Amino acid sequence: MKKSTRGALALALTGTALSTLILPADPAAARAGGTIEVVAEGLDTPRGLIYDAGNRRVLVAEAGEGGPSGPDGGTCGQTGLGAVWCYGPTGAIFQYSERRRSGRRIVTGLPSTGIYDDSGAQRFSVLGVHDLSLSPAGHLRAVFGLAGERLFRDQLGPGAVPLGQLARVTGHSGGLVPEADLATYEQRHDPHPGDTESNLYGLDSGPYGTVVVDASGNDVLLVRPDGGIKVLAVLPARAPAADPGGLVESVPTAVVRGPGGAFYVGELSGFPYHKGEAKVWRLVPGRAPTVYADGFTNIADLTFDERGRLIVLEMAKDGLFDGNPGHGGDTVTGRLVRVNADGSRTDLATTGLENPGGVAYAGDGVFYVTNRSTGAGDTGQLLRVKVPRG
């Protein structure tokens, strides 16, 4: 069975949201001058982000907080697996300007869904705009989660149409031009046989089009410039090392094009999120994917530094589920890790990372990271992580 990521991935911000809080990135980094600075607060379930070097700005996908629950009069729908999500136009795109050292929302009104407990009183996870990309021509694109099928989306009303789609962002009030309905593609073709739920999570755009990972579909899809869709890879389910008699699915969450042109795909790995089970796959179109690096836990995002070294962001370095044997009970602390040329790893930051959701490299040892990306509400942060160059 395919695993939805809804269990783990789960306010007006009109002016500056700048904090002076500065923490050591970790004890080793602190000795060498590494720091974490909170540069924006009050973000509404922030997920993926991109660094726009030409304009010296960071663009952050805010998944939002869905809409009111059914008992409160919200517009809600039920997935094929029985989960009830409620719609609201509460997603946004947040811009942080390095020049001004301030941030604001530049796009609002994006579709968002929230899942509630049975009483409808407590919202505990959100899906919406999950990641962003800029094409060579400067077009801003976004992917939207769904965790359901077409019928479920239809129940949520016309505003929910972009959910499960790749779309181009065209205006400040949530103007969107859908470019590929990948949820419908999943339902019709089901590349990874099983449940046909779709939950788009990461993307990468270039002259080739846009590559998208579907966390519920367990596949990697290419949307060509003409709108055609091609399956680049189906990521296999497997028996985890910690439970040889069990089975976990890949649940890909991130994709980035590497310096040599291959794509690198990071995975959350399916429930119960065993520590060390998540892998990074290397994908050359037309070939079967191969494991590039493994031993990670709950990968949220990937990027590369200027020396072509892979950077891995873990949402929870010990795992999002504390029911695993040997789990220390910490389901919050994340980790930023560099994979060195010889295959060794360097921990760049852990202190201050609380279920981080996305990472982008800005050069000169500076990374931007979205923080507090799970759950729901306006508690999210944008961090500036400075690490020693080495």
Give the whole-angstrom CA distance, residue 40 versus residue 383: 7
As a whole number, mean pLDDT of residues 288-309 equals: 97
Q: Which residues contact 261 (CB under 8 A, 6 or more apart)?
A: 284
Q: Report yes or no: 121 and 78 within 8 Å, Cβ to Cβ.
A: no
Does position 7 have pLDDT exceeding 50, yes or no? no
Query: Per residue in 67-93, pLDDT tens?
Result: 999 999 999 998 887 889 999 999 999
| Token pair listed for 240 | 């985890």
Task: Name the residue among 291, 280, 283, 288 with its Cα closest to residue 262.
Answer: 283
Digit-coded pLDDT (tens) for 90-126: 999 999 999 999 999 999 999 999 998 878 888 889 9
Beta-carbon count within 10 A of 79 CB:
21
Band of pLDDT at residue 377, cut at 50, 70 and 90? confident
Look at residue 19 in the predicted model and tell me its pLDDT: 37
Q: Which of 142, 203, 200 is nearest to 169 (CA)?
A: 142
Indicate whether 8 pLDDT > 50.
no
Per-residue pLDDT, averaged over 131-152, amounts to: 93
The end-to-end CA distance of the chain, in Å, is 43
Query: Which tokens is 119 given?
Result: 């009483």
195: its two tokens: 């449940």
Domain limits, the chain: 22-386
pLDDT of 365: 96
CA dist 371 and 380 (Å) reads 6
Contact call for residues 376 and 123 (beta carbons, < 8 A): yes
Strands 200-206 and 209-214: antiparallel
pLDDT in tens, 178-187: 999 999 999 9
Tokens for 107? 């796009």
Contacts of 269 (CB under 8 A, 6+ apart): 240, 248, 249, 250, 251, 277, 278, 279, 297, 298, 299
CATH number of this structure's domain 22-386, picked from the four choices 3.40.50.2300, 2.40.170.20, 1.20.272.10, 2.120.10.30:
2.120.10.30
Q: Is 6 helix (H, G, I), strand (E, B) or coil?
A: coil
